[in-house]
Structure 1
Amino acid sequence: MIRVIRTGALLALAGAFIHCSSSMFSNPPEQQFRIGASTVGVQSVASHLNVPWQITWGPDQCIWYTEQSGTISKVNPETGKTKLLLTLRDVFRDRTSGLLGMTLHPDLKNNPYVFINYTGYSKTKTKVSKVVRYSYDAAKDTLVSPVVFLEYPAWTSHFGSRIVIAPDGKVMVATGDGAQDGNAQNIQSPNGKILRYSLDGSIPADNPFKGSAVWAWGLRNPQGLVYVKGKLYCSDHGDAIDDELNLLVKGGNYGWPVVEGAVNTDKEKAFAKDSAVVAPLRAWTPTIAPAGMTYYNSAKIPELKGRLLLTTLKGNSLRSLTLDPTGNKIVGDVNYFEKIFGRLRSVCVSPAGDVYLATSNRDWNPNAAPARNDDRIIRIYRIDAKHASPTAKPAIVAHKSNEAINKGALLYTNYCASCHKADGKGIDKIFPALLNSAVVKGDQRNLIRTVLNGKNQMPKFAFIENNDMAILLTYVRSKFAAGAGPLTVADIQSERK
C-alpha cells in the first residue's frame, strides 16, 4: 500500500549551497598510483562522514550521498562544499540498519524523484524497512513529499538495500533476507528479493508474479546493483563461502539459502531438480563482502573502460571485472587499492571519468580503529604524464605466494579475521573474542565441533578440508591460548558428522 508521510517531522534543512570559485581539483594529489600505463591521483572530497552508504552522481555535478545515521547530503567535489538535503527523524540504526540505499531518477528535471531504503518505525513503533520516494524541490534545493512504496519486516541484519532505475523507467530494489533463512525462497516475503515497481509505487502488470513486486529471488544480502547495456548485475554476500556476482533475469531464482555458488553438492542438486537455479557469473571463496557497484564506460582511465567496478568490505579493495562481449560471462578480475583505504562501501563515476569511492571504516565491523578523517569520499582521477610521479606505486598489490606465507595465518585472515579481528579480540557484544577464550583453550572437541558446525550466527566451516582445518585451529590455539596444544587431521576427522 502506498502511503504519503507528513513531511514536517522528517525534514531538517541546512543553509543554501555555497558555490566557490576555488577548485580542489587544482590541489596536488594526496597519493599517486599506477593502473597499467595510467597514473591516478587520490583526493579526499569529503571526510569525517558517518558511514556514507550510497554515493551517486547528480545532474547538478554534485555527489549525492546517504549516511547510515539518517541524513542525505550532497557535496560539490570541486569545491568540497556540502549541502544537507534531508534528515530522517524516524531512522533506526543498529549495526547494519539505518539509512542505506538511494538512487536519483536519471531525468531529475522531468521526474524529480529520489528513492531511498532505510530502517525506521511503523505507526505502531515496530521496526520496519521502508522503500520511500521523495520529490526534489529544485527551487529550495531540498527533498519533500515522501511517499512510502513498501514497509516490510526489518529483522536484525542482511538488509540489501541498493536501488536503481531500469532502462524502462521501473524502480528496482534489492532486499536482504534479514538473516532469516526461510525468507529468500518464500515468494510471499519481500526479503531476499529484487523488487520491481513503477515510479508511482504500483506493481507493473508484466512482473513475473501477478500482483507481486517480486522480480527475482533467492538472494542473501545483495549490496550492489547496476545496469549495463540493458542487463542487470547484482553482487550478493554469501555466508562462509561463495560471495556472488549475478546476472539477474526476470523470475530468476538464485538459490539461497540452499544453493551457494554453483550447484555442486548433493543437497543443491536435489533442490535444483525442482527449482531452476541461476548460477552466478563469479563466486569468491574466501569471501570478500562485495558491496556497491558501477560500470566504467569512460576513456579517461583506459585500463578500466568497459569494466564493472565493485567495492568490497572484507576485501578492502576495488575490483575491476571484465565482461565478455555478450555480457554473460566474467572473463577478468583485477584487485585494486587493497588495504589502502580500508573498507569500501559504494562507488560512482563522474561524466569526466573520475571514480569516487565511499569508505566504511566507522561501520559496525571495522578492520581496526578508523583513521582520523574517516569516513571519506575519495576521488580517483587520471594525472597527465608531465605531472605523474615516477615513484607512484602500483594500485595492484603484489602478494607473496601461499607457500611463502604462514598458512595458518593466511587461513585465519581468509576465514576468521573479518569477525574476530587480527588481534583475536572480536567486537564487544557482537563477535566473541578468541584471545584467552575458554572455547579456544578448553576441550578441543568442542572447538572443532563449533567451527565445523557453526553456532548461533557463526556459519559452518565444514567445507574446509581436514588438513587445512587442523592448521587453522592449531594456529588459533597457539596465538590466542597460551599453552594449548596442536590439533591433528585425525582430531578433525573424528568430530565430523
Structure 2
Amino acid sequence: MKKIFKITGIIFISSLLFYCSDSDNSTNPDPDPDPDGGGEPVEAVTTLINTLNVPWELIWGPDDFLWVTERNGKISRIDPDSGKQTEVMEITSVAQVQESGLLGMVHHPDFNTNPFVYVVYTYDNGTSGLLERLVRYRFENNALSNETTLLDNIPANSIHNGSRLLITPDEHLIMTTGDAGSANSSQDMSSLAGKILRLNLDGSIPNDNPTPGSYVYSYGHRNAQGLVLHPNGSLYISEHGPSSDDEINRIEAGKNYGWPDIRGVIDTPNEEAFANTTTTVESIYNWTPTIAPSDLIYYTSDRIPEWKNKLVMTVLKEQQVIALTLNADGTEVINEETFFDRKYGRLRDIAISPSGRVFIATNGTSYQDNSNTHSIIEINKIE
C-alpha cells in the first residue's frame, strides 16, 4: 500500500535574509577542515553575489562559470570564486508578471562544438496575453545572439509556467510546462500546458515519443519546477500542489499524473474512479500542507557527505533545503531530511560543480519581490 507522507507547518512570517559572517566564525571557531583540503576553518555558507533581480535558473556551465537567468530578462555568467557578473544577453521581449519572465536554461552537451544555450521565457503577444517560448542562442565573443525559436505559443500566465529544462544523454530536450492557471488543460492532449515535453535539439518531435506527432511525454501536471535525471536513467520532477499534495514524481513515458483529478496518491472514491479510466501514476512522495518545492538535483559528491546519493531540493515557502533518500530501485522515498530551515529566505535553484561545490539562488521572502537584492550563496558544509 502506498503511504502519504505529510509534514506540518504554518505559513512563514517574512524575515530578513541572514548570512554567516567572519565575526561569527572568529567568536566560534569552526574545527572542521576546508572542503578543498586546506585545513583552514571555513564558513558553512558564503554569499557570492547579492544584487540579482529574481534569479530563476542557476547552472554550472561548461566554461566553469555559473550561468544565471534573472526573471527580468537578463542572462549572465558569474565567476564562482570572485562573484563577478558578466551579462551575456538581455531579452527585451520578456514579460515579467508575478511568476512569469525569463525562466529555464540549459547548455548543449557538446558546448565546445555546438555553443548553444536553450532558454524559456514568457512574452505578451499583444492579443491573447502571455505565452511561453522555447528558444536557442549561440554563444560567441562572450555574448549570446541569433535567437532561434524551437517551440512557440505554449500557454502561459502570471502563475504556473513550469519551464525547467534538461538534455538527456541521447540528446533529447526535456521541458516542464505548467497548467498556466487552467487546470483542465493538463488533461487535454491537444494543449502543451501541464505537461512534460520531449523534443529533438532542433525543436522537432522525436519519432519515438509516446504519441506520434506530439511533443507530450507525460501529462496531468500542475506546475513542475524541479527536473533531474538520476544516474540510473530515471527522470524525477518536483511539482507544486494547490493547498495540499506537493509532489515528487518519477516520470514514465506516456503516463498520466492525474492533475486536477488526482492529488498525490489515489485515496478518495473520486480519484479511484478517475484512475480506472486512464493509465495514472501516483506520486512517490507528498507534502501536506504544501512547502512550494523548486529545483531538484541528484548529489553524488563526497564534498557534502550528508547529501551524497540523495535527491536534493530547494524549497520556496518553507525556505529549506530538503534531502530525499530513495529506495534501491528509485520507486519510493524512504527518508527526508531538512537543512537551513528559514535561514536564507526562499530558495529557488541549486547548481552543482563537477567537484561537488553547491550554489543556491535565493528569492527573498516573497515571490512578488522583484528588487535587485537577491543572492547566490555557496554551501561549503552543513552547519
TM-score by length of 1: 0.67
| Greater Cα offset, 285-294 or 319-328 | 319-328
Q: Relative to total residues, which structure has the larger strand share, 1 or 2?
A: 2
Distance 1:325 1:291 in 2: 24
Counterpart of 2:230 (choices 212, 228, 231) is 228
- Give the corresponding residue for 1:56: 59
- Give the corresponding residue for 1:117: 120
Q: CA deviation at 1:154?
A: 1.9
How do 1:87-236 and structure 2 match up within 5 A? 87-122=90-125, 126-137=129-140, 140-151=141-152, 152-229=154-231, 230-236=233-239
Q: CA deviation at 1:352?
A: 2.1
Counterpart of 2:275 (choices 267, 272, 283) is 272
Distance 2:22 2:354 in 1: 21
Distance 2:98 2:29 in 1: 33
Distance 1:287 1:84 in 2: 35
SS at 1:274 equivalent: coil
Q: Where in structure 1 are there 5+ consecutive unaligned residues? A: 1-26, 383-393, 396-497
How do 1:56-455 and structure 2 match up within 5 A? 56-122=59-125, 126-137=129-140, 140-151=141-152, 152-229=154-231, 230-361=233-364, 364-365=367-368, 374-382=373-381, 395=383
Distance 1:177-1:48 versus aligned 2 partners, 3 A rule? same
Distance 1:103 1:30 in 2: 37
| Percent of matched pairs sharing the same residue | 39
8 Å contact from structure 2 (residues 266, 272) kept in 1? yes
Distance 1:291-1:210 versus aligned 2 partners, 3 A rule? same
8 Å contact from structure 2 (residues 345, 365) kept in 1? no
Distance 1:110-1:267 versus aligned 2 partners, 3 A rule? same
- Give the corresponding residue for 1:474: none
Distance 1:161 1:378 in 2: 23
Q: CA deviation at 1:28?
A: 5.5
What is the aligned-residue RMSD (CA, Å)? 2.4
- Give the corresponding residue for 2:8: none
- Give the corresponding residue for 2:50: 47
Distance 1:133 1:291 in 2: 23
Aligned residue identity for 2:155: P
SS at 1:48 equivalent: strand
Q: CA deviation at 1:30?
A: 7.3
Aligned residue identity for 1:61: D
Q: CA deviation at 1:122?
A: 3.5
Distance 1:72 1:103 in 2: 12
| Greater Cα offset, 202-211 or 299-308 | 299-308
SS at 2:183 equivalent: coil
Q: CA deviation at 1:331?
A: 1.3
Q: Where in structure 2 are there 5+ consecutive unaligned residues? A: 1-20, 36-41
How do 1:2-17 and structure 2 match up within 5 A? none
SS at 1:267 equivalent: helix
SS at 2:186 equivalent: coil
Spell out, residue by residue over 1:256-306, the C-alpha distance to the aligned partner (whole angstroms, 9 max, x if none). 000000001111000000112111111000110000111111011112110
Equivalent pairs counted in the alignment come to 351
Distance 2:23 2:260 in 1: 45
Give 1 or 2 for the bigger CA radius of gyration: 1
SS at 1:111 equivalent: coil
Distance 1:203 1:304 in 2: 36
Distance 1:337 1:295 in 2: 18
8 Å contact from structure 1 (residues 223, 235) kept in 2? yes
8 Å contact from structure 1 (residues 33, 41) kept in 2? no
Q: Relative to total residues, which structure has the larger helix share, 1 or 2?
A: 1
